[in-house]
Amino acid sequence: LGDVEVTMWGLSVTLLSCMITASKNVYTNSSLKGDDAVPALPLQLVTSSSCLLLALISAYSSGQLWEILAAVRTFKDCSVGWLVVNGLFAFMVNISNFEMSKLVTPVAVSLRAKCKVVLLVVLSVLVFHNDVPPLKALGTFVAFVGALWYTITGQPQELMDALLARN
């Protein structure tokens, strides 16, 4: 699955990404709970709009905006269809993440993300026949078991009861 040489730059970017992701999880969780909680759909609208604006500014400042616009003009109808389907999935993922964030702690959200990584590894093996060395397979298994263990034992009983009562 793409072994790469570890560099200080790669390590720094990875750590920065982890800190940003953790901050986003905490921010989202606090935005969706409490007396001044924001409903999931307006939060999705604001975050998506902010993301689009920042992406356009970034593309412009890096000189890639015109390349992106030129590439968009060459899309075929089937490409646009796939982009729309991808957008629908992204929307559903974000809304479901926001709704889930109301019910669990930021730690649980991060652990769910780890389960997603495990699923991606398994799917990459099944669909793309990627080769996974035994040590990586063991690490994936340990990550999955750890997330499952936390899910079963790490949640307060009141939260588990609320989740079960909701379904």
Q: What is the pLDDT of residues 100-144, one digit of tens each?
A: 888 877 777 777 777 787 788 788 888 888 887 888 788 878 877
Model-level pTM?
0.57
Closest CA to 122 of 130, 114, 113: 130
Closest CA to 121 of 132, 134, 108: 132
| Alpha helices (runs of H) in 1-105, residue ranges in sequence order | 8-32, 40-61, 65-73, 77-103
